[in-house]
Every structure is written in structure tokens, then in C-alpha cells.
Structure 1
Amino acid sequence: MCWILPTPRERHLLAGPRLHDSAGAGIPALAADPATADADAEAEQALVQASRITTGIAAGVLLVGGAVTSALPHRAADRAPPESRTSRAERPPRGRVRTRGTAG
């Protein structure tokens, strides 16, 4: 298999929509405007802080989900209440039961 790498111009064109549609795309525009240039550093810090908080919440949700999943019973027999568990000898046969003397 032959991979053809994109040229620098093609890489710029491929990366364009991702950069312009990202959450921090407006921050460079703040730095470019002299009226809002002071808000550039605060906007970057706010974006970093929001990303950290979001990542922490996502990690917590994954940890709780993993803990709850590991607490689930692993076998169907573990899920049934103890009084409803029966041995194989006590269980009725599954499917069609043939008895002698009858046409089946």
C-alpha cells in the first residue's frame, strides 16, 4: 500500500475547518482587535479551565460507571434470589417431552 502525504498547502486546507470550527477559534480574533486584546489571556485561561473541569467530570463519570459495572452479578444464577434457585434434578425438562406409548 502506498501512502501519499499531503503537501503543506493541502494540510492547511484540511486543517482549516477543524481550526475554525473549534471552541477556541474566537480567541485569536480577540487578540487581533485592540479593543478586546486585553481579554485574550483571560479567554485562553477560561477555555483551559473549562476543559479541565469537563475532563474531570468525564473521568468521574467513567470511574463511577466502571465501579457500578464491576458490582453487577456475573452469572444468571447470581441474579436469581436464593429461594428460586433449583438444582438440575429439580428443574422441569425443557422443550417437548416424549412419553412412552404416545405418538409424537
Structure 2
Amino acid sequence: MHKLLDIGDVFESKEYGTIIVGINPELDTLSHSEIKNRIGDYIVVRTPDYKELEMKVISVQISNSLIDKKTIGICIGKAVNPSDIPIRSVVYTR
């Protein structure tokens, strides 16, 4: 497993379900397609108490700030509640 990002926010969209948002400065130099390929179809979320939760990736959104820093949003759908994913959890590749 490789670290993808630290979770800074988790929220629910009525239309898309639960969305995980985070950053990883190491990904700032990659293109959007390279980041999406690295994330893949499944992720593993490791909570601060070391529980590991495998989740299917529904979609990935990437935004760039004015200083070219990337924020990554991973939609994991309606099967997972935002309350199940604590802030400060870490996302890994599967």
C-alpha cells in the first residue's frame, strides 16, 4: 500500500454520497490523470485507531489552488456515512 493523502474533511453530498477531501504535497507535480490512475478503483482508509476500511472509489475530483497546490476529493458513494471516517485518517492505495 502507498499513502495517497491525509484526510482533512469528510462530508456528504445529497447527490453523490460521502466525499473524502485531502492533500498530499507529493502529488502536486502530477497531472490529474496520473493522480486518478494512482488512486485506482479501491482505497484503504486507515483511521487514527488503526482500523482499515476498504472502499470503492466512485469518482475523483481534483482542484488546483492559485499557487498550484492540489486538493483531492474522492467520492465513495452512499454506502458509507461520513461519521464512519474520522478526520486525520489516512488514505492508501489498495
Please give the range of the TM-score, normalised by the shorter of the 2 chains. under 0.3
More helix by share: 1
* Normalised TM-score (structure 2): 0.19
**Higher RCO (C-alpha 8 Å, min separation 6):** 2
Greater strand proportion: 2
